[in-house]
Structure 1
Amino acid sequence: MHRLGKTASARRKDFYEDAPTRTVAAGGVTFAYRELGPRSGVPVVFLTHLAAGLDNWDPRVVDGIAARHRVITFGSRGVGASTGSTPKTIEEMAKDAVTFIRALGLKQVDILGFSMGGMIAQVIAQTAPQLIRGLVLAGTGPAGGEGIKNVTRLSHFDTLRALPILQDPKRFLLFTRTANGRRAARSSWLA
């Protein structure tokens, strides 16, 4: 894997693949998280896609943003090393994200919400707008948006499609099945 700028003269010394997993307890949940980048400034909290844990972030994306910004990724309740039962609604997930952010003592954050994480970020923007300074929504849509109701069905279909060929379902979910899409999947962190 190519490590952005990792040389003897690198300005930064930490990379996502090396970031230790830490925990913080709040609201009856122990949340697992990782943090890297500069220790000052408003952090960027990453909210991830359906069924994703800390290891599902592309380290090239995290490292790229962490080159200039404090980055915090975390596992939602019931996912990966975070305790508790997985919430049933986006609203519950948003409440957990706010609980996590406040448990770290943060007064304001930037949020990068990817796919389902973008849906969670939109709810946070509605319910706790004072917490958000900036918001990046990637590969997501609004509640009730065109095709949103099909996401779970398509996720299950792509998981079943990937199993017999021993591929990560995210190759189907996150990349087109064109020659360019397959090439991008092979060069991704999933390779």
Structure 2
Amino acid sequence: MDTLDPVLMNITAQNREAIQLENTGIGHSKGTIPDTLDAMAATVTDHLTAIHVPKADILGFSLGAMIAQMIATDYPQVVNKLILAGARSGSGPDDSQTAPDAGMGPSGEPDRQPTEDYMLYILIYPSKSSRDKGSI
């Protein structure tokens, strides 16, 4: 997260204590990646319990946004506020769609930083009406 969007994390941490968590087996953490969103949500709430944080504002970005929704659903007692960023919408016939090849390209590796155009491309469907509403 700090590689993909350090500005977001730095702004967030200016006015509140911020805890960045890499789920088990992801990033620099050790272990086996949980195979369900429920298990990933449990890992987060277990971590909050271990560091004595009974309630938190939860910011989830991308996959983290899906995990944050599971936390809010399964562990509402730990959620003060829920913030979803870079979250994809559903996939029903009336839902907005993401470009089919949106997963291709730079994904925040230190030597391949995403551009604003790339971020708009992966987060906003490539139609004129969607692009006119999209901004970063």
Q: Do the structures match in fold with TM over 0.5?
A: yes
Which structure 1 residue ranges, 5 or more long, are not aligned?
Answer: 1-53, 182-187
Which structure 2 residue ranges, 5 or more long, are not aligned?
Answer: none
Q: 2:30 aligns with which of 75, 83, 89?
A: 83
Q: Does 1:174 align with 2:119?
A: yes
**Amino acid across the alignment from 1:68:** N
Residues 139, 88 of structure 1: alpha-carbon distance in 2 compared, 3 angstrom cutoff: same
**Amino acid across the alignment from 1:95:** A
Tell me, what secondary structure is at the counterpart of 2:67?
Answer: helix
Tell me, what secondary structure is at the counterpart of 1:86?
Answer: coil
Match of 1:104 in 2: 51
For residues 52 and 34 of structure 2, what CA distance do their matches in structure 1 show? 23
For residues 113 and 12 of structure 2, what CA distance do their matches in structure 1 show? 25
Residues 103, 66 of structure 1: alpha-carbon distance in 2 compared, 3 angstrom cutoff: same
Alignment of 1:14-93 (within 5 A): 55-93=2-40
Tell me, what secondary structure is at the counterpart of 2:80?
Answer: strand
Identity of aligned residues (%): 30
For residues 111 and 132 of structure 1, what CA distance do their matches in structure 2 show? 7
Match of 2:42 in 1: 95
Higher share in strand: 1
Structure number with bigger Rg: 1
Q: Does 1:121 align with 2:68?
A: yes
Q: How many Å apart are 1:81 and its aligned residue?
A: 2.1
- How many pairs were matched up? 116
Comparing 108-117 with 54-63, which one deviates more in the overlay? 54-63
Q: How many Å apart are 1:55 and its aligned residue?
A: 3.9
**Amino acid across the alignment from 1:81:** H
